[in-house]
Amino acid sequence: MSPDASAFWSKANRYLMKTGLTFSPAVITKAQGCHIYDLEGRKIIDFTSGQMSSLLGHSHPEIVQVVQKYAAELDHLLSNMISPPVVDLAERLARLLPPSLEKSFFLNTGGESIEAAIKIAKCYTRKFEIVAFSASYHGLTQGAVSATYSVGRKYGGPVAPGQLSFPAPYAYRSPFRKPDGSYDWETEMDYGWSMIDRQTVGSLAAFVMEPILSTGGILELPKGYLSRMSHECKKRGMLVIMDEAQTGVGRTGQMFAFQHEDGFVPDILCLSKTLGCGLPLSSISTSADIEKGANDAGFLWLTTHYNDPLPAAVGNKVLDIVERDHICQRAAERGEQLFQGLLALQRKYWCIGDVRGRGLLQGIEIISDPATKASGAALGQTVSDRALELGLSCNIITYPGMGDVLRLAPPVTITAEEIDDALRIFDEAFAYALNEHGLCN
């Protein structure tokens, strides 16, 4: 470790409070495009887009220009004051979304948007029970963490009343199987609803879900799942809240991941991470009918940075670039390249149990035994650590009961050559990890 790095860590360990996260050993001093740079001068491919947010890469020059302009001219206002960037962003979202999702407002984070969406659903339905997947992640504030089952629930005291868990669709590990061994998600869904119907006290307000469960392990919803889920929710007078924090704005090959299911439209859509391209921006979009019903019930939402103009202007520029530069098509093409490369690695390394995802949101599930599919947490961590040493930043999920999954979400501006470089590093990292753990390939 260099003297500069040693001094940095000495200061960090003394003054910086830890909050349950293990700090990365890399000290990052610069982020540009699809790369980050550390204190030692190493160039590292960013395969997580920061916190799954920097959709167009770091410090995109057009976004930098927007930030500079609005920081100088129109940064922040009293919360009941609106500005042209805010109205323009709401109008643009209405144009991109299905006609029913015509009303929007803007906050900072994904967790904040989920909090607001849950309150809208409770006001509109006049009910309070919220259902979420057993591998869900919607944030760590009180309402959002109450609907989060992957992590973060312990030692925080009682969650909000009326929280119900639904089995997450996990095709690789689900015990629900048809006679031919294929995943039987229809029976699993029947089972899930039978459990909800037994638990409810008759006050089901909403089901909050991700179209691809990211923190839960890059779990894709099977074709037909959303349509069936919408039907079951309508039968029970529930709203569907769609959390597209990581999947929205082109990352999966479509502007919004819920569009993968023809004809399905959520009642409330929450965007965040990718909408602000790394800056704090989230949105809640819903119908005029739900807006009216919620307001008739006395809905109130107010935060310090409600409808702030600067991040709204950034969101406008992000959507402008996504449309202009055909980002959805780019995500689909580069995603297919990545997927095929990962399948080649799976054929080479037995410890890759499953490869899944869509567009440029993909996952590699690591196992320690191909016969039992036993999780490979230690092995996966070694792969992730070695990849970072070789110049590739990726994120592994090792939460109990959710497998051990490397989440891959590079900026959509990544080049074919950069994906090839990342695949080469993964190849080296897997070979190294198997050797380190004494496991023959």
| pLDDT higher than 70, residue 400 | no
Cα separation values, 226 from 186, 362, 400, Å: 11, 20, 26
Cβ contact 46:38 at 8 Å = no
Q: Are residues 81 and 176 part of one domain?
A: yes
Cβ contact 264:250 at 8 Å = no
Cβ contact 350:366 at 8 Å = no
Cβ contact 399:375 at 8 Å = no
In the listed set 324, 350, 372, which residue is the last one of a domain according to the structure? 324
DSSP state, 259?
Answer: G
User: CA-based diameter of the chain, in Å?
Assistant: 65
Q: Check which CATH number belongs to the domain holding 94 and give it.
A: 3.40.640.10
Q: Per-residue pLDDT tens for 192-249?
A: 999 999 999 999 999 999 999 999 999 999 999 999 999 999 999 999 999 999 999 9
Of 155 and 252, more confident: 252
Q: Per-residue pLDDT tens for 313-324?
A: 999 999 999 999
Helix or strand run (H / E) with residue 295: helix 288-296
Residue 365 lies in a domain: yes
| pLDDT higher than 70, residue 402 | no
Q: Are residues 341 and 305 part of one domain?
A: no
Residue 65 lies in a domain: no
Cβ contact 119:143 at 8 Å = yes
Q: Are residues 239 and 335 part of one domain?
A: no
In the listed set 268, 295, 324, which residue is the last one of a domain according to the structure? 324
Q: Per-residue pLDDT tens for 55-79?
A: 999 999 999 999 999 999 999 999 9
Residue percentage of the chain with pLDDT more than 90: 85
Structural domain that includes position 359: 3-59+327-436
Q: Are residues 174 and 264 part of one domain?
A: yes
Residue 64 lies in a domain: no
Q: Are residues 135 and 28 part of one domain?
A: no
What average pLDDT is seen over the chain?
94
pLDDT confidence tier of residue 159, bands split at 50, 70 and 90: confident
Helix or strand run (H / E) with residue 199: helix 185-199
In the listed set 324, 349, 377, which residue is the last one of a domain according to the structure? 324
Our count of domains for the chain comes to 2
Q: Model's pTM, two decimal places?
A: 0.95
Q: Check which CATH number belongs to the domain holding 10 and give it.
A: 3.90.1150.10
Q: Are residues 277 and 320 part of one domain?
A: yes
Strands 282-286 and 28-32: unpaired
Give the other-Cβ count within 10 Å of 171's Cβ.
17
Residue 68 lies in a domain: no
Q: Are residues 281 and 153 part of one domain?
A: yes
Residue 384 lies in a domain: yes
Q: Are residues 262 and 176 part of one domain?
A: yes
Q: How many residues make up the chain in this entry?
A: 441
Q: Are residues 297 and 160 part of one domain?
A: yes
- Which of 355, 356, 358, 365 has its CA nearest to residue 333? 358
